[in-house]
Structure 1
Amino acid sequence: MSAPLRETVSVVVLASGLFWPPALLALSADAPPVAGAAAPIAASVNPPPLLLAANYRDSVDPSAYWVSEKLDGVRAFWDGTTLRFRSGRAIAAPAWFTAALPPHPLDGELWLGRGQFDALSAIVRREQPLESEWRRLQLHVFELPPATADEAALTFSERWQRLRQLVAAAGVPWLEAVAQFRVADCGELAQQLAATVAAGGEGLMLHRADAPYLTGRNDALLKLKPWHDAEATVLAHLPGKGRLHGSVGALLMQTDDGRRFRLGSGLSDALRQNPPPPGTRLSYRYTELTPAGLPRFPRYWRVADAF
Structure 2
Amino acid sequence: MVETTEVNSREHLDELYGEYTEQGYEGQMIRLDGPYENKRSPKLLKRKEFMDKEYKILGYEEGEGNRAGTIKHFKFENEYGRPFNSNVKGSFEYLADLLEKADDLIGVEATVKFFNLTPDGVPRFPYVIAIRDYE
* TM-score for both structures, normalised by structure 1: 0.26
Q: CA RMSD in A?
A: 2.8
Instruction: For structure 2, list consecutive stretches of 5 or more residues without a partner in the other structure.
Output: 1-8, 18-47
Deviation readout 1:177-211 (Å, 9 max, x if unpaired): xxxxxx884425679xxxxxxxxxxxxxxxxxxxx
Between structure 1 and structure 2, the one with the greater Rg is 1
Instruction: For structure 1, list consecutive stretches of 5 or more residues without a partner in the other structure.
Output: 1-182, 192-224
Larger % of strand: which? 2
- Is 1:239 matched with 2:74? no
Residue type of the partner of 1:280?
V
- Is 1:293 matched with 2:121? yes
- Asked if structure 2 preserves the Cα contact closer than 8 Å seen for 1:239 and 1:245, the reply is yes
Q: Residue 60 of structure 1 aligns with which residue? A: none
Q: Distance in 2 between matches of 1:255 and 1:187?
A: 32
Task: Describe the SS at the equivalent of 2:93.
Answer: helix
- Asked if structure 2 preserves the Cα contact closer than 8 Å seen for 1:266 and 1:301, the reply is yes
Deviation readout 1:83-106 (Å, 9 max, x if unpaired): xxxxxxxxxxxxxxxxxxxxxxxx
Residue type of the partner of 1:291?
P
Q: Distance in 1 between matches of 2:129 and 2:52?
A: 9
Assess, with a 3 A threshold, how the Cα gap between structure 1 residues 282 and 187 changes in structure 2: closer, same or farther.
same
Q: Distance in 1 between matches of 2:65 and 2:74?
A: 17
Q: Residue 115 of structure 1 aligns with which residue? A: none
1:299 positional shift? 1.5
Q: Residue 262 of structure 1 aligns with which residue? A: 85
- Asked if structure 2 preserves the Cα contact closer than 8 Å seen for 1:233 and 1:255, the reply is no
Deviation readout 1:205-264 (Å, 9 max, x if unpaired): xxxxxxxxxxxxxxxxxxxx8211111111112011111112221111223432211111
Assess, with a 3 A threshold, how the Cα gap between structure 1 residues 304 and 246 changes in structure 2: closer, same or farther.
closer
Q: Residue 278 of structure 1 aligns with which residue? A: 106
Task: Describe the SS at the equivalent of 1:264.
Answer: strand
Q: Distance in 1 between matches of 2:90 and 2:10?
A: 40
| Number of residue equivalences | 90
1:6-155 alignment, distance < 5 Å: none
Q: Percent identity?
A: 23
Q: Residue 18 of structure 1 aligns with which residue? A: none
Q: Distance in 2 between matches of 1:188 and 1:289?
A: 21
Q: Residue 130 of structure 2 aligns with which residue? A: 302
Assess, with a 3 A threshold, how the Cα gap between structure 1 residues 184 and 263 changes in structure 2: closer, same or farther.
closer
Q: Distance in 1 between matches of 2:63 and 2:75?
A: 12
Q: Distance in 1 between matches of 2:69 and 2:82?
A: 27
Assess, with a 3 A threshold, how the Cα gap between structure 1 residues 188 and 288 changes in structure 2: closer, same or farther.
closer
- Asked if structure 1 preserves the Cα contact closer than 8 Å seen for 2:88 and 2:129, the reply is no
* TM-score for both structures, normalised by structure 2: 0.54
- Asked if structure 1 preserves the Cα contact closer than 8 Å seen for 2:51 and 2:116, the reply is yes
Deviation readout 1:27-65 (Å, 9 max, x if unpaired): xxxxxxxxxxxxxxxxxxxxxxxxxxxxxxxxxxxxxxx
